[in-house]
Structure 1
């Protein structure tokens, strides 16, 4: 079996945010176009308009650079989730508006995040280059989206609109019932492009509310 190299542990430069972003952008484009094995650090440096030494100083090695690309996309996905939570599930005071708010949140996540080119890029990179990431099931977002939703459900419960003894469990079940169902059944969750997505989300939200809405 081929050996798996461990990403570098050398101390890396924080460096210029502009150069770092340029390197990540160049690496992302090349990893997608040519794959990890055929992408050289020289090519990344040339596309980013920096020296090869700068790439090594900022990221250490090519494997760490790939992980940084995946992590950067994951962080952008987390930002979408937090922004959507703030836009749709903040300061709720009336039980009557809860269903519409949860449907709006789920629909926007399904379309703006799961239906985005960024998410498609993340899935493609992780699927194609899993052998070069820290482990086969590497997830740059980890539990952050679930925890962010759980925190918001706890706040809604504190306002008296939900009864959620275990907010994290409620978040996991909500995800499974809404855009999770759309992904599993349709392979996509873009409500703007597929009219079958929204009815699945609405049904999932109503099922969730039957379990968790306060009496």
Structure 2
């Protein structure tokens, strides 16, 4: 049976995907409702309908289980980003449609991702349980969304629509312009909850294009 190791080199079972999913779902519900410290492994096992030994065999300890929950939510959000990129920026729009395509992408992120229950869950867990995660400011999404956007900008540059000598830098600047300004000014870039996000996102996209558009 496949195994993995925790940072302390304890061998863990991969085990049944169904049981792993049940444990993660139970842990997520309890960590959100009760907090990490008040959620016992016994309670997680009972809610997941598995033995306590199974929880330990699969995850090693409660901290590793918390990290697995946070990482799982992060992966779900990365999937949303990639799907949104595929839906909005894969079929190259041409120079005339580039602004609309980038605004559509940005607003989809501001609604489908930043306005989602998954994102709210990630924010709550990271804020509330930062002391139990591997390090302060732990980010389960890491650089993956930025790199995915950089790849798409490189494709737009190949098509002659953008001039991006450094696609990753362009991605970082796009994110800062489209989402950083709403975050700084409003405290959120969630377009579902705040209609003031859209005009700020739109102007961020236009500022980016003034710097990077080729035509």
* Cα contact 2:146–2:172 (8 A) shared by 1: yes
* Counterpart-to-counterpart distance in 1, 2:55 and 2:92: 47
* Cα contact 1:13–1:57 (8 A) shared by 2: yes
Residue 167 of structure 2: aligned partner: 167
Matched, 1:9 2:15: no
* Cα contact 1:93–1:159 (8 A) shared by 2: no
Q: Deviations over 1:84-127 (max 9, x none)?
A: 00000012151000000000000000111111111111011111
CA RMSD of aligned residues (A): 1.2
Residue 49 of structure 1: aligned partner: 49
Q: Deviations over 1:15-60 (max 9, x none)?
A: 1111101100100111111111111100000000000011011101
Residue 131 of structure 1: aligned partner: 131
Residue 65 of structure 2: aligned partner: 65
Q: Which ranges in structure 1 are unaligned for 5 or more consecutive residues?
A: 1-5
Q: After TM superposition, give the deviation of residue 71 of structure 1 in Å.
A: 0.2
Matched, 1:140 2:137: no
Residue 34 of structure 2: aligned partner: 34
Q: Which moved more, 1:55-64 or 1:6-15?
A: 6-15
Q: Deviations over 1:119-163 (max 9, x none)?
A: 111011111111111111211001111101001000111111000
* Counterpart-to-counterpart distance in 1, 2:7 and 2:129: 14
Q: Which ranges in structure 2 are unaligned for 5 or more consecutive residues?
A: 1-5
The 1:132–1:193 alpha-carbon spacing in structure 2 relative to 1, beyond 3 Å, is closer
Q: Which has the higher contact order (CA 8 A, sep 6+)?
A: 1
Matched, 1:117 2:117: yes
- Where 1:12 maps in the other structure, the secondary structure is strand
